Chains A and B, each alone.
Chain A
Amino acid sequence: MSGAPRGSGPTGRQRAVAERTARTILRRRVVNAMMTGVVALAAFATTLPLVFILFHLVRSGASALSLDFFTQMPKPVGEPGAGMANAIVGTLILIATACAIGLPVGIGAGLYLADYGRTRMANVVRFLADVLNGLPSIVLAVFAWQFLVRPLGHFSALAGGVALAAMMIPMVTRTTEEMVRLVPTALRESALALGYSRARTAMSVVLRTAGAGIVTGALVAVARIAGETAPLLFTAFGNHFWSVRLDQPIAALPLQIFYYATSPYDEWHRLAWAASLVLISVVFVISIAARFATRSSAGSGHGD
């Protein structure tokens, strides 16, 4: 318009530039389209392992599941009607032990972090909680063994519970902190303005408002530790017999899966699949429930 004189067509040089530009634009569009495909493919490929694993779990596990699985004790190879009643109860006891230790500490530390969020000590605690969260679970087993099993002289459910609690504490700490931070400032200030003490504000206003979120966080932590095997290998150790005592070795579903999966017997393999199906069902139900719980509470906002 301004450059070319009116009436005369584009010069050869201008045409060449235009052509080159068109080619460049075409190349950029093709690359763009290809990358869209690559990215979508990556997303698709990533969902495949989950589908495969669930497919095999259901196919191999469902047929081995029966009422006996939940009510009967393990039996020698060849005897029909074997179950994992002791391992199911054992896992529940281990989780309860871990919760008894881990929840108060985790929630208390979370409240502290939310209250003293910007102090140096809070930063240190927060960082160390993340570090603790990143420790390999097998190291926690080594710790619990050295700390409890060696001095007591035998494997115990308590040692397993301590190892699991060490996994749980950092997770609960961080989710509690996040949930407490979501409590509207106005709500706390109103309570304080009404003359509530800080302790009372924390108990009847903060914990009550953040309660659902904290419970959800705790459930997610439980779902995580429920399937942990490594921390139990030489702490809870496993037990072929019925035991509910904290000072004795105790059976656990993940341990049982490990022993059965690495055994040479087809029948035990089937039981391992069944146990995995049960374990993963519980873990997924908790994860999905937690997902919807946090989403609905986030959706309703600070309404009530």
Chain B
Amino acid sequence: MAEGGPVAELSVAPDDRLLGERIGGGVLGDRIYVATITVFALCVPLLLALILLEVAVAGWPALREFGVGFVTSSEWDPVQEHFGAAPAIFGTIVTSILALVIATPLALGVAVFLSDYAPPWLRQPVAFFVDLLAAIPSVVYGLWGIFVLIPILRQHVIPFIRDTLHLGSLPLFSGTSYGYSIFAAGLILAIMVLPYISSVSREVLLAVPRSQREAALALGATRWEMIQKAVLPFARSGIIGGVILGLGRALGETMAVTMVIGNRHDISASLFAPGYTMASLIANEFTEASGEMHLSALMAVGFVLLVLTLLVNGIARWLVWRVARYAEGHRA
């Protein structure tokens, strides 16, 4: 049966005049019902527009005052009322990329494991386990970060990288570190975005037609060759979509990052140095903002973050949607 067809026709074109009086409210009831759900549906675009408007209006004074300098200057001085958000933007991008670099291979591994390797009885539990990572509140990740991850980093990981591997002279790993760092934030973010990337990738991999796999196997490919040559290329844009979706999450993640990044306005080449992200900057300074311009600057940071995540999410949705549409066309 063509799915959706009859329903769509029935409900899209209800000719009330032909149906006359009906049980349960009749034409008037229907009008009220349709009007109600239409209004609720319109709430979604309205809410989004309202959010954009309010944040833009609130950030406008700072954006107008500092112009392009707002995103290029790294001077953040509430006393002199000069605000440049470059360190926060830098920190946001670096932590997010770090998170993706760590999380993507793992997430892909899990997704492939779940779609092509795991025995059926193991699929549901492992998928559920990974999904539970997404259910842990951000603030709990932060708590764990402060009391478990950071001590481990400070006592074991950072000395190991510097002294045992002799990488301490590289700018990337230089400077004194107390554990609170860009690196810690990236690590926590990696755990947090992993379930998003893996669940999208899994769905995309499962959407790859069976014939694609069978054709590869019939040509004599091993299982890995099948995945590498027939499955992954087919799913590529969907997987990239999942990764970018993860990027969107990482860019806006607030609490866990605020608790472990060290909160310092500084652009440093070292991953072990403390930094700031846009979200943590807002979270940290908002309630203590010293004046109207400081507040407006924080709102403007929120606006930059908003625009950035809108762009990133838009691209991601488009990529995932493209694969989903292709798979749907093939199933029909």
Q: What residues of chain A have their CB less than 8 Å away from a CB belonging to chain B?
A: 28-29, 31-32, 35-36, 38-43, 45-47, 49-50, 52-53, 56-57, 60, 104-109, 111-113, 115-119, 121-122, 124-125, 127-132, 134-143, 145-147, 166, 169-170, 173, 181, 185, 188-189, 192, 194-200, 202-204, 223-224, 226-230, 233-234, 237, 254, 257-258, 261-262, 269, 272-273, 276, 279-280, 283-284, 287, 291
Contacts and interface: CB of A to CB of B under 8 A. Distances in A.
Contacts of B24: 196-197, 199-200, 203-204
Given A42-B105, A136-B309, A32 B110 contact: no
B142 interface: yes
A226 B198 CA distance: 24
Interface of B: 1, 4, 6-8, 10-12, 14, 22-27, 29-30, 32-34, 36-45, 47-48, 50-51, 54-55, 57-58, 105-110, 112-114, 117-118, 126, 128-133, 135-144, 146-148, 191, 194, 198, 222-225, 227, 245, 248-249, 251-255, 259, 279, 282-283, 286-287, 298-299, 302, 305-306, 309-310, 313-314, 316-317
A258 B259 contact: yes
A221 B113 CA distance: 28
A190 B188 CA distance: 52
A53 B282 CA distance: 27
A258 B40 contact: no
B255 to A, nearest CB: 5
B8 A118 contact: yes
B23 A127 contact: no
A46 B27 CA distance: 55
Given A46-B106, A166-B47, A262-B259, A142 B133 contact: no
Contacts of A105: 40, 43-44
Contact of A279 (B34, B40, B133, B140): B140
A228 B6 contact: no
A221 to B, nearest CB: 12
Contact of B51 (A42, A50, A124, A135): A135
B128 A291 contact: yes
A151 to B, nearest CB: 11
Nearest to A51: B129
Considering residues B7, B14, B47, B140, which has the most beta carbons from chain A within 10 angstroms of its beta carbon?
A: B140
B209 to A, nearest CB: 21
B23 A258 contact: no
Contact of B12 (A47, A60, A108, A116): A116
A125 B38 CA distance: 10
Contacts, number: 303
Nearest to A273: B143
A140 B286 contact: no
Given A124-B45, A198-B33, A192 B51 contact: no
29 contacts: A32-B225, A38-B109, A45-B106, A46-B106, A53-B136, A53-B141, A105-B44, A108-B39, A108-B41, A108-B43, A115-B12, A118-B12, A121-B41, A128-B45, A131-B48, A139-B305, A141-B286, A142-B54, A142-B298, A143-B54, A146-B55, A196-B23, A198-B11, A198-B33, A223-B135, A257-B143, A261-B139, A261-B259, A291-B128
Contact of B22 (A53, A134, A196, A262): A196
Contacts of B128: 291
A266 to B, nearest CB: 11
A103 to B, nearest CB: 10
Contacts of B253: 136
B317 A127 contact: yes
Main secondary structure on B side of the interface with A: helix
Nearest to B126: A43
B96 to A, nearest CB: 12
Nearest to B5: A185
B283 A138 contact: yes
Given A141-B286, A230-B283, A283-B136, 19 more contacts: A41-B109, A43-B110, A49-B133, A50-B130, A119-B12, A129-B44, A131-B314, A132-B44, A136-B279, A137-B254, A141-B282, A142-B298, A143-B50, A143-B51, A146-B55, A169-B47, A199-B29, A200-B25, A230-B279
Contacts of B105: 42
Nearest to B129: A47
Given A43-B113, A143-B51, A258 B44 contact: no
A34 B96 CA distance: 30
A286 to B, nearest CB: 9
Given A125-B44, A230-B254, A188 B137 contact: no
Contacts of B251: 136
Given A39-B113, A137-B254, A131 B55 contact: no
A284 B132 contact: yes
Contact of A113 (B6, B33, B41, B225): B41
Nearest to B117: A39
Contacts of A35: 224, 227
Contacts of A254: 137, 139, 255
A287 B255 CA distance: 21
A138 to B, nearest CB: 4
B22 to A, nearest CB: 4
B41 A125 contact: yes
A115 B38 CA distance: 10
A42 B109 contact: yes
Contacts of A227: 136-140
Nearest to A124: B45
Contact of A197 (B26, B57, B136, B252): B26
Contacts of A121: 41
B224 A104 contact: no
